[in-house]
Structure 1
Amino acid sequence: MLFDLDGTLWDSVDSICLSWNRVLGAHDPALAGTLTREKLIGCMGMLLPDIFRKLLPQLPPETLAAMEEELMEAENSWVAVHGGILYPGVEKTLGELSADYPLFIVSNCQAGYIEAFFQAHGLGQYFTDFENPGRTGKPKAENIALVVARNGLKHPLYIGDTQGDCNAATAAGVPFLHAAYGFGVIDHAVPAVHAFAEIPAAVRRLSPP
C-alpha cells in the first residue's frame, strides 16, 4: 500500500501556515498572517512551487524563488517538532496493515518533510520506503511508479484524498482508494473510505483473489 501524506495520514495545515507566516513576516511585516488554513487547503495536492505562486501572487517571481528554500526548511523544522493532527486510528491501523503488507509514502512534498512526519509522530517503523519530488524532481505519477518498481510490488494500491492523487495513480497504472475524509473530492466514482480505520476492510475487498 502506497499512501499520500497530507489529507490521508494527517492534517498539518495549521503547522505549515504558522511556519510559513513566520518566514513571510520576518521578510516583510505586511506579509505576516498572509496564509490561512482555508487558502492552503485549497492547494493541497499541488506541487510546492505551484502552491507558492498561487498563494503569494503579489511577490515578484525572483523574490518568491529566493524564499522557497527558506519556507520549506522552516516548515520541515517546525513540523518535526510540533507535528500535525493524525487522523483517528492512524497508528493502530498502520500497525495492523504493516503486519500483512509493506507500506510506503509517496507525497508531493519537499525533501525532509516525510522524515519530519516520522520524527514528530514516531511512525517511520511502519514504512518500507518513501518518495517525493523534492528528492527525485519527478511528478507524483512517476514517483509512484518508481516506488512500485524499486520494491518489486505486484499488486500495489495508492491511497490518497485528492483528484491529483487519483490522476497520478491512474497514470502510474496503480489502483486507487479515495481517502474521502481528507481534503479533496474525486470527479468520478472510485472505491472510498470515510475513516482511516476502514482501510483494512477496504483493502481486503479490493485485493485480487
Structure 2
Amino acid sequence: MEQNIPVLTKPEAVIFDMDGTLFETDTLLRGVHENIFRTLREEGLYGETPPVERLLGCLGMLLDDIWLKVMPDASEAARDRANELLLQYEIEGLEAGEGRLYSGAEEALRQLKEQGVKLFVASNGLELYVKEVARLKGIAPLFEGLYSAGEYRTSSKVDLVALLLQEHGIGHAWMVGDRSSDVEAGRNNGLDVIGCAYADYGHSQELEGADALIRSLTELLPLLAAAQQA
C-alpha cells in the first residue's frame, strides 16, 4: 500500500467477500475443476475440459453466469450437473484439507474483532461452500454472519449486502473484495470500498472506484487506525 493512507469513515462492521479475498480459491479449485469435467465426460454430458483460468476468471459471479462463460455451448442439463459437482468436489476437497486462506487473513480478522468491529461475509457462492470454508479453516467463530447468494437467493451482491445491513441494523461498514461486484455492492449501499489487489482472478480495472487498495488483509489495520468517526 502507498505511504499516504486514505482516510475513511470508521466502520461498525467490515464485510468480506470470500473467494479471492479471504480464501485463495485456486488452491482448491484447480483440482475441483479437473474432477468436474472428468465426471461430465464420463456421464456423456460434456466433452473437453476448458482451461481452469476461465473458471477462475469467473469467481465472484453468480453460478448460472459462471457456467455460461465456462462452457457456453453446454446443455442446460450439463450446466445443472456442473453445479452439483462443483459443490460436491469443493466440500470433499475442503474436508481433505485442501485450499488455504490468504496470508495474514486470520490475523487481520482477529485483530479487527478485538477492536470491536463486527465481521461478516457476503459471497455470491453456495451456502454450504461458504460456511464450510469458514468452519474448516477455523474462522467461522470470528463472524457475526455468513451471507451467501445461495442461501438468500439474491440476484446481485448489491441486494445481498443491503439485506445484511438491514438485518443487523448497521449504519456504516466497509466492503472488502476483489471484484467489480464488490465495488458495486459497496458503492450502491453507501459503504467505503477496499479493493483487494493481491488476487489474480480478476483484472485491475475491476477495482476502479474503490476508496483504497490493499496488497494484504493486514493493511486493513492501519486503515482502521486512521479512520475518522462519521
**TM-score of the superposition, structure 2-length normalised?**
0.82
| Identity over aligned pairs, percent | 25
Q: How far has the Cα of 1:49 moved from its partner?
A: 1.3
Cα contact 2:195–2:210 (8 A) shared by 1: no
Q: 1:7 to 1:66 in 2, by over 3 A?
A: closer
Which among 150, 153, 162 is matched to residue 145 of structure 1? 162
Match of 2:41 among 12, 23, 28: 28
1:9 aligned to 15, 22, 34, which one? 22
Q: Counterpart in 2 of 1:70? A: 85
What SS does the aligned partner of 1:119 have? Answer: helix
- Judge which range, 155-164 or 61-70, deviates more: 61-70
What does 1:109-128 correspond to in 2, within 5 Å? 109-128=125-144
Equivalent residue letter for 2:17: D
Moved more, 113-122 or 99-108: 113-122
RMSD: 2.0
Identify which of 173, 176, 196 aligns with 2:217: 196
Contact 1:72–1:110 (8 Å) recurs in 2: yes
Cα distance in 2 for residues equivalent to 1:114 and 1:144: 15
Is it true that 1:90 corresponds to 2:105 in the alignment?
yes
Q: Distance in 2 between matches of 1:80 and 1:171?
A: 36
Question: Residue 195 of structure 2 aligns to a residue in which SS?
Answer: strand
Distance 1:76 1:207, change over 3 A: farther
Q: How many residues align?
A: 208
Residues 1:153 and 1:81: Cα distance change in structure 2 (over 3 Å) = farther
Describe the shift of the 1:18–1:31 C-alpha distance in structure 2 as closer, same or farther (beyond 3 A).
Answer: farther
Alpha-carbon separation, structure 2, partners of 1:109 and 1:57: 20
Question: Match of 2:176, SS?
Answer: strand
Structure 2: distance between partners of 1:189 and 1:14: 26
How far does residue 25 in structure 1 lie from its aligned partner after superposition?
Answer: 0.7
Letter in 2 for 1:165: D
Q: Secondary structure at the match of 2:118?
A: coil
| Structure 1: gaps of 5 or more residues | none
The structure showing larger relative contact order (alpha-carbon pairs under 8 Å, at least 6 residues apart) is 2
Once residues 35 and 132 of structure 1 are traced to their aligned partners in structure 2, the CA distance between those partners, rounded to angstroms, is: 26
Deviates more, 1:12-21 or 1:196-205: 12-21
Q: Letter of the 1:56 partner, please give it.
A: M
Whether 1:173 aligns to 2:190 is yes
Unmatched tracts of structure 2, length 5 or more: 1-13
TM-score by length of 1: 0.89
Residue 124 of structure 2 is aligned to residue 103 of structure 1: no
The 3 A distance-change label for structure 1 pair 192 and 142 is same
